[in-house]
Amino acid sequence: MWKNLKQLYQLLKKFTNRVVIGDPLLINAYRSYGNEEDIILRGRVIENEGITVQKEDGLWRNLVNNIRRFETDEIRSLPVHLALDGQLHKQVTDREGYFVFKVPQTRPVAASYVHWEKGELSLPEHRYKSSQLIKNSIEIMRPGRLSQFGIISDIDDTILKSHVGSWLKLQMIYVTLFKNVYQRKPFEGMSEALKYLAYDQEGNHVNPTFYVSNSPWSLYEVLEEFLQIHGMPKGPICLRDYGAFFGRQLEDFRQHKSRTIDHLMEFYPKLPFILIGDATEKDADIYLEKFHKFPGRVLGIFIRQGRNPDSNVRVRQLFETYPDQPFFLVQHSIDIIRHVRQSIVFDRII
């Protein structure tokens, strides 16, 4: 009986989602990526809250917008279409409104540098009074023939001042709720450091850049715009689903950063990687684990010092057990450039 009731509930929920939706729908198209064999595209369908942000917005306006950003109304069991390279692909949103396409590739990589392709996402079923299909374009990054390595960087307290290590995380909560994308601050010199790694001397984006964070997908648009405003190299942003807390999904939540890096290193088996993070959490531990798991694939590790001296000492002691490896605890972003220039490990690729 319980099984039948559950099936009836799911059927009614599915019908409700297809017929009664108050706000217009929005396709969040996350920057995606591909290799020589497959392209992986991700996104989410939610109700469009119509959030608009201005530089001069005050505390109250920021609070309202940020709460609305977290209070997303996701749409489950909704068909999503992807038009790519003249072909149509179909997928359905999951219980949290997410969808993933994995599209086989038949075209070899022809470009010399990192390049971006576009697909078009659409919702074939209308949810409100409109004669127009709901659409959004999605960008796909593919490394070029001259790409020598990849860069995987954390965001919070590595690029963006997030104050994760503040007492009871109060300062982190404050800037997340009461600041907007124009008012958040980057670490000085981080744009220059990442560009030094990602671009060649002629300014070509030669080495692909990936951003991996434990922040929720609700902050995707904020982080994407923040990285653009402050001139960081363009790249996919991999965030975390905060909507499921049981079974395998709970373990995926806890291991998000580690498993995402595993996936990227397995997806690009020919690329070594430089890993960048901070001492506030467990970035150094995760990166050292990848050093052992993928022999010869971790070119270097750079960890930004945090405000907690004990955390910095712990990372320094970890790295001291690898005296012959290019693992560095850095105080300033520009130290990354200095270490790369001075280390013979990077001579053949930088």
pLDDT at 260: 97
> Domain tally for the chain?
2
State what percent of residues in the chain have pLDDT above 90.
64
Do residue 94 and residue 180 come from a single domain? no
pLDDT at 94 over 80: yes
Of 94, 110, 142, the residue at which a domain comes to its end is 142
Do residue 164 and residue 98 come from a single domain? no
Contact 137, 29 (CB under 8 A): yes
* 168-183 residue pLDDT tens: 678 888 888 889 899 9
pLDDT at 6 over 80: no
Nearest residue to 274 via CA among 304, 305, 297 = 297
pLDDT, average across residues 49-55: 82
Range of the domain at 257: 150-346
Do residue 96 and residue 161 come from a single domain? no
Do residue 102 and residue 214 come from a single domain? no
Do residue 66 and residue 194 come from a single domain? no
Do residue 40 and residue 117 come from a single domain? yes
Do residue 99 and residue 177 come from a single domain? no
Nearest residue to 301 via CA among 316, 256, 309 = 316
* 312-345 residue pLDDT tens: 999 999 999 999 999 999 999 999 999 999 886 6
* 276-290 residue pLDDT tens: 999 998 999 999 999
* 143-156 residue pLDDT tens: 999 999 999 999 99
Q: For the whole model, what pTM was predicted?
A: 0.88
Read off φ and ψ for residue 228, nearest 5 degrees: -70, -45
Confidence band for 16, pLDDT divided at 50, 70 and 90:
very low
Of 99, 116, 142, the residue at which a domain comes to its end is 142
Torsion of CA 146, 85, 105, 29, to 10 degrees: 80
Of 142, 172, 197, the residue at which a domain comes to its end is 142
pLDDT, average across residues 181-209: 95
CATH number, domain containing residue 176: 3.40.50.1000
pLDDT, average across residues 89-99: 95
- Whether the CA torsion 254, 258, 261, 262 is positive or negative: it is negative
Do residue 270 and residue 291 come from a single domain? yes
pLDDT at 305: 95
Do residue 58 and residue 177 come from a single domain? no
Do residue 105 and residue 217 come from a single domain? no
CATH number, domain containing residue 17: 2.60.40
> What is the Cα–Cα distance from 79 to 99, expressed in whole angstroms?
9
Q: What is the DSSP letter of 216?
A: E
Do residue 77 and residue 177 come from a single domain? no
Query: What's the Cα-to-Cα distance from 65 to each of 29, 99, 182, 190, 226, rounded to whole Å?
Result: 20, 25, 13, 28, 16
Do residue 10 and residue 56 come from a single domain? yes
pLDDT at 68 over 90: no
